[in-house]
Amino acid sequence: MADLKKSQDNTKLIMMLLKGRTLIVLGLLVIFFSLATPNFLSANTMLLLAKHVALYGILAIGMTYVIITGGIDLSVGAVVGLAGMVAGGMIQKGLTFESMGVTVYCSVPLVILAAILVGAVVGLLNGAIITRFGVAPFIATLGTMYIARGFAMLHSNGATYSAITGHEALGNVGFTFFGGRIAGIPVGAIILAVIAVIAGFLLTRTTFGWHIFAIGGNEKAAKLSGVKVDKVKILVYIFSGICAAIVGIITAAQLEASHPASGETWEMNAIAAAVLGGTSMMGGIGTIGGTIVGAFVIGVISDGMVMCGVSEFWQMIIKGLVIIVAVIIDQFQRKMEAKMALQARNESKNE
């Protein structure tokens, strides 16, 4: 009997370690890099890290929503590019209405709104294709990925809008604010924090959030329980699109230029961050907190290795290995949880 108790305590401890594994890995990585490079653990490095992480961190939050419903959104990287181009174009070229022969320059808030709207429209398109026509999310968003990237390229014929600072005379200055800092903290990191808090809150404290979990856990049961599956899914893809558009704005602002190819393959970083953070690719499981930690793990690996002077090519290999190991551990945890549930079930039967 004592043995049984002990083994149960052991299982509990292992489960705790498993659940906190990403945080533990993050801690170990920080310790490792601060020993390896003397400058790593400085305020400056950390702020730079936060600035980098903000970009795919925000993408990963939208991606987490999508993955929890059991889907995937490959179009986010392209939306980063498209939203940046729309914003940059509106500031530099303005909107020309040829029929009236006028060019209108919008104020920065309107520019931001337009860029976000573009992201929302791509998300709506994703959601509609997936729910109305039953296209697999992978394929639907693969398609919109090409379409969005194509439009980004078309916008300037592949050219970059540089120096998008705006002109005082045109009343459209201030865009670069999003690439700057407030009290030393990168604005991108602040936006990440705000979105993370809101997204985490929505996911755990609202009916909408729980419907997302229900759809990913068992879509059929969710539908039969009265969850409006299609509507929730469409909203989730819109949310992901908006997150991507925000990243597009921040990227353009940080560089003070919009490049149509920016954001390429960023969807992969977003997926990786979500998965590292314990989001199940099967759907139904995931947290925003986990995803943020996952994003920081990727950030620390990238920045840390750059500071150590590890080549970019080795970075890729190591990142790949980390992701695979993370998922293997994830599988292990699920098996263990299933075993514990079965055990509890058998015990309750013996009562």
Of 93 and 335, the one with the shorter C-beta distance to other proteins is 335
The string over 286-315, giving b where at least 16 C-beta atoms fall within 10 Å of a residue's C-beta and e elsewhere, is bbbebbbbbbbbbbbbbbbbeeeebeeeeb
3-class secondary-structure state, position 161: strand
Q: For residue 198, state whether it binds other proteins (rule: CB under 8 A).
A: no
Q: Is 205 in the site for other proteins (CB under 8 A)?
A: yes
Considering beta carbons, is residue 200 or 284 the nearer one to other proteins? 284
State which of residues 103, 207, 311, 331 lies at the interface with other proteins (CB under 8 A). Answer: 207
- Contact pick of 168, 224, 265, 312 for other proteins (by CB under 8 A): 224
State phi, psi for 204 to the nearest 5 degrees: -105, -15
- Enumerate residues 251-290 that contact other proteins by CB under 8 A: 280, 283-285
Query: Hey, which residues between 321 and 350 contact other proteins (CB under 8 A)?
Result: 337-338, 340-342, 344-345, 348-349
User: Distance between CA 277 and CA 238 in Å, rounded?
Assistant: 22
Residue 203 vs residues 22, 69, 236, 298: alpha-carbon distances, Å: 20, 12, 11, 23
Region of 84-92, 224-232, 244-252, 287-295 interacting with other proteins (CB under 8 A): 224-232
**Segment interacting with other proteins (CB under 8 A) among 57-65, 98-106, 223-231, 305-313:** 223-231
Report the distance separating Cα 148 and Cα 85, nearest Å: 11
End-to-end CA distance of the chain: 16
CB–CB of 267/145 below 8 Å? yes
Instruction: Supply the minimum distance, in Å, between the C-beta of residue 335 and other proteins.
Output: 13
Size of the site for other proteins (CB under 8 A): 35
Measured CA to CA, the distance from residue 139 to residue 71 in angstroms comes to: 11
Positions in the binding site for other proteins (CB under 8 A): 202, 205-211, 213-214, 216-218, 220-228, 280, 283-285, 337-338, 340-342, 344-345, 348-349
